[in-house]
Homo-oligomer: A and B are copies of this chain.
Amino acid sequence: KKTYKICCLPGDGIGPEIIAEGKKVLAAVGKRYGVDFQCEDALIGGAAIDACGDPLPEETLAAARASDAVLLASVGGPKWDSTDPAAPRPEQGLLRIRKELGLYTNLRPVQIFAALADASTLRPEVIDGVDMMIVRELTGGLYFGKRERFYEEPGAGAAGAPGQRAYDTLEYREYEIERIARQAFEAARKRRGKVSSVDKANVLETSRMWREIVHRIGAAEYPDVELEDVLVDNAAMQLISRPADFDVVVTENMFGDILSDEAAQITGSLGMLASASLGDGVALYEPSHGSAPDIAGQGVANPLAQILSVEMMLRYSFNMGEAADAVRAAVTAVLDEGWRTRDIADASTPADRILGTAAMGDEVAKRI
């Protein structure tokens, strides 16, 4: 019997509640497909800061490295919010694990579940057929460049004013752009054959380099894939005006953070979207949404994005396409039968169809 070790990182807020449902579904998959998924929890984020002052303790990193895949829930919350540069922050745990595991590719599929099409604030005819894959570079750019804050003496400021000064650095190297471009072109080949590369080449030097390299890789290695350039401000508009036209969208880290959340919101059901962070070794899977501290501990959080991150794990880390399809089919069936968590319910949902976190996990698990 095949055995896989899964490093589970519950994190903060609703994290512990939703990851329990991810494990439940993994167990159901293991039973049905004869695989032994061994889940072990480790600390990350605010929970890790509280326990040992470090958002990514050494043991957690070691456990992640020793695993076959990492399942993360969510990190962060107002408890640890601070603008003090020296204070440890939950998000550092997430950023560090991405960097340490070399997870340079973030895949964020954006799709509409037919049963939830009404949840979008966009008109139905506009979101009809939306099916895109956002490929976000995840270990470079402003997230990992040098940053600093210091105090300038009176007179040093451009306006003669004394005060603080801070900078962050947006930096990329050629090989970082080459490898993310290849990921985007490969994804497009398995989809509708089109890549939209998003940059701000009319202003940024990194963007001009990005554009050159993406075109060189495209022309040399993927002449069969259509490639278009879109300026980031324009992309923010087109995601709203013609979302269904996008197939694969590839962009640098910060633009990807903004645009992938915008694209997720277009579906109206952020609670349904998962992401995969891939590198050359062990990969990490997480929901696209955050830790929702306002509803933590109430048992009402939607576990479906976490469950769909398990789907992605099965597909990308374990090559278990059939099992992944089964997870997706189970989620679709549950929705089609009218079951909802609070966030995806609307005025027409009968009260007895609104489930808590665990009950929703049960419904999915029993259909595997």
Determine the chain B residues whose CB is within 8 A of the CB of A152 once the complex forms: 173
Q: Which of these, B169, B208, B268, contacts A169 with CB under 8 Å?
A: B169
Q: How far is the CA of A84 from the CA of B202 in the complex (A)?
A: 11
Report whether A236 and B259 are in contact in the complex, using a CB–CB cutoff of 8 Å.
yes
Instruction: Name the CB-closest residue of B to A163.
Output: B174
Known: A121-B241, A163-B175, A237-B270. A147 touches B205 (CB 8 A): yes
For A236, give its contact among B205, B209, B265 (CB under 8 Å): B265
A148 at interface by CB-CB < 8 Å: yes
B171 x A209 contact (CB < 8 A): no
Residues of B with C-beta under 8 A to A208: 83-85, 149, 166
B157 near A175: Cβ-Cβ < 8 Å: yes
How far apart are A275's CB and chain B's nearest CB, in angstroms? 13
B-facing residues in A252-298 (Cβ within 8 Å): 254-255, 257-262, 264-266, 268, 270
When chains A and B are docked, how far (Å) is the Cα of A171 from the Cα of B159? Answer: 15
CB neighbours (8 Å) of A220 from chain B are none
8 A Cβ contacts from A12-26 to B:
none
A315 within 8 A of B: no
Q: How far is the CA of A213 from the CA of B163 in the complex (A)?
A: 11
Q: Given A143-B203, A166-B171, answer yes or no on A237-B262 (Cβ-Cβ < 8 Å).
A: yes
A240 CB → nearest B CB, Å: 5
Tell whether, in the assembled complex, residue B173 and residue A170 are in contact, meaning their CB atoms are under 8 Å apart.
no
Q: Is A185 an interface residue (CB 8 A)?
A: no
Does A123 touch B at the CB level, under 8 Å?
Answer: yes
Distance A85 CA – B91 CA, assembled complex (angstroms): 35
Closest CB in chain B relative to A173 CB, distance in Å: 5
Are A83 and B209 interface neighbours, CB within 8 A? Answer: yes
Asked if A212 is at the interface (CB within 8 A of a chain B CB), the reply is yes
Asked whether B172 lies within 8 Å of A165 as measured between CB atoms, the reply is: yes
Instruction: Scan A63-100; emit 1 where CB is below 8 A from any B CB, else 0.
Output: 00000000000001000010111000101000100000
Residues of B within 8 A of A254 (CB): 200
State whether the Cβ of A115 lies closer than 8 Å to any Cβ in chain B. Answer: no
Residues of B within 8 A of A203 (CB): 91, 95, 142-143
Which residues from B are CB-within-8-Å of A266? 240
Give Cα A147–Cα B200 distance, bound, in whole angstroms. 13
- A126 lies within 8 A of chain B by Cβ: yes
Contact of A201 among B83, B149, B206, B209 (CB under 8 A): B83
Q: Which residue of B lies closest to A161 (CB)?
A: B175
User: CA of A208 to CA of B174 in the docked complex: distance in angstroms?
Assistant: 30
A351 at the interface (CB under 8 A from B): no
- Evaluate contact between B204 and A233: CB separation under 8 angstroms: no
Tell me if A347 is interfacial: C-beta within 8 Å of chain B.
no
* Nearest CB of B to A209, in Å: 4
Q: Is A236 touching B212 in the complex (CB atoms < 8 A)?
A: no
Inter-subunit contact B166/A209 (CB<8 Å):
yes
Known: A121-B126, A241-B268. 8 other contacts (CB 8 A): A123-B123, A142-B203, A149-B205, A157-B173, A164-B213, A166-B171, A233-B260, A239-B262
Q: Could you write out 10 A-B pairs with CB less than 8 Å apart?
A: A157-B175, A161-B175, A163-B174, A165-B174, A169-B169, A236-B262, A238-B265, A239-B262, A258-B258, A262-B262
